[in-house]
Amino acid sequence: MTDLDFTSSDRLFHYTNSAGLYGILTSGTVWATHFRFLNDRKEFVAANNMLNAILRGTLSREIDALYQSGHVAKPPQAVIDQKIDDALAYLLKIIVDPAHEVADPFVFSMLSCNPSEGSRFTDGTLQHWHSYASTGGYAIQLNPEKLLAILDRAPGHSKDFAVLRKVSYMGDPRTAALEHALNSVVELASKVFHCAVFGRDKLDLGKYYEPILNILGCIKSEFFRDEREARIVLFRGVAGSLYPLRFREAAGLHIPYIEILGGGLLTKECAIERIIVGPHARNIERIFALKLFLRTNGLTAIDVHEADIPLQ
């Protein structure tokens, strides 16, 4: 898997409670939640809007080029606009809608950070620790390069695939991975247009589902920009998958999730580098218990650090 989003110094941080931390350290797996149950109620809407705009722009350029070439007499602008609308509807029907039907996205969220950001990197963020003020939280520091290697080795069905990406927020510069996926979709739109106009051979649309799903899974509203999210998105094949669908109860909801990474977090090339122990009145005991657990389970390579944030 090509790493387009992360530098060698970037690290990822997953904030969790005690049950979540010890569950991960015991199983070597993490839970990825169905995208419809994430904190952005418009998840994937922003991505669909971006796709529509990109496809419309591509079709507009192709139609303008067709008329300028002299192959077809140029009609009134209203007719051109209607042709663009019709072509966009056709593209959405044949390449975007089917992509939604190929796989369900499940998401494991993290914060992306690097050492140049000082205390945010070493001690975590006050925004996140506030969520665990009463029970005490932990931040698991992960190496993205090693995570990518685990994802490459993870078992899967031909209908499953996973990506590790930084989230792009609407209005911000696009990440390299997002730009690459958008270029693939522009290429596809152009080819579909030429096939329709000039009667060329049909395309293998299936190979374009992955970049389309990449786009759909890694764009969020600008209102969530402060989260600085990176995520593993596993697209679980609707027609068949090696990932059993599970459910958990929370806030009155029956939430679908899957377990991913297949124990890979606890292999010799452990992707977990450090655990930050968040603010809590009894951190002496929490740190002792965590270090004892790591030593007992042969995980001594994982460092333990107490956050230096005076939150009560």
* pLDDT tens, position by position, 121-173: 888 888 888 887 678 899 999 999 999 989 887 665 556 888 899 998 888 88
Task: Please tell me the pTM assigned to this model.
Answer: 0.86
Minimal CA–CA distance to 164: which of 103, 100, 108, 227? 108
Q: What is the pLDDT of residue 198?
A: 63
Is-contact 132 278, C-beta < 8 A?
Answer: yes
Residue 5 located in a structural domain = no
pLDDT of 286 above 90: yes
First to last CA, the chain: 42
Q: What is the pLDDT of residue 283?
A: 94
Residue 220 located in a structural domain = yes
What SS3 state is found at 59?
helix
Residue 1 located in a structural domain = no
Is-contact 281 57, C-beta < 8 A?
Answer: no
Q: Residue 48: which pLDDT band, with cuts at 50, 70 and 90?
A: confident
pLDDT of 298 above 80: yes
Tens of pLDDT, residue by residue over 66-110, are 888 877 788 888 888 888 888 888 877 777 777 767 788 899 999
Q: What is the pLDDT of residue 199?
A: 60
Q: What is the pLDDT of residue 258?
A: 96
pLDDT of 302 above 60: yes
Query: What is the tally of structural domains in the chain?
Result: 1
Q: What is the pLDDT of residue 216?
A: 78
The secondary structure of 95-143 as a DSSP string is IIHHHHHHEEEEEEEEEEE-GGGTHHHHH--HHHHGGGTTT--EEEEE-
pLDDT of 52 above 60: yes
Q: What is the pLDDT of residue 272?
A: 96
Minimal CA–CA distance to 19: which of 251, 244, 248? 248
Q: Residue 45: which pLDDT band, with cuts at 50, 70 and 90?
A: confident
Residue 224 located in a structural domain = yes
Q: What is the rounded distance in angstroms from the CA atom of residue 109 to the CA atom of residue 144?
A: 13
Is-contact 57 182, C-beta < 8 A?
Answer: no
Give the rounded percent of residues in the chain with a pLDDT score beyond 90.
Answer: 34
Residue 2 located in a structural domain = no
The whole domain housing 202 covers 11-306
Residue 147 located in a structural domain = yes
Mean pLDDT, the chain, rounded, equals 86
Q: Residue 30: which pLDDT band, with cuts at 50, 70 and 90?
A: very high
Q: What is the mean pLDDT of residues 230-252?
A: 89
The residue count of the chain comes to 312
Task: Specify the DSSP element, H or E, that contains 248.
Answer: strand 246-250
Q: Residue 271: which pLDDT band, with cuts at 50, 70 and 90?
A: very high
Residue 198 phi/psi, 5-degree rounding, is: -105, 5
Q: Residue 203: which pLDDT band, with cuts at 50, 70 and 90?
A: low
Residue 233 located in a structural domain = yes
Q: Pull the structure tokens for residue 113.
A: 């950070």
Residue 221 located in a structural domain = yes
Q: Which of 67-71, 126-130, 256-260, 268-272 is predicted least confidently?
A: 67-71
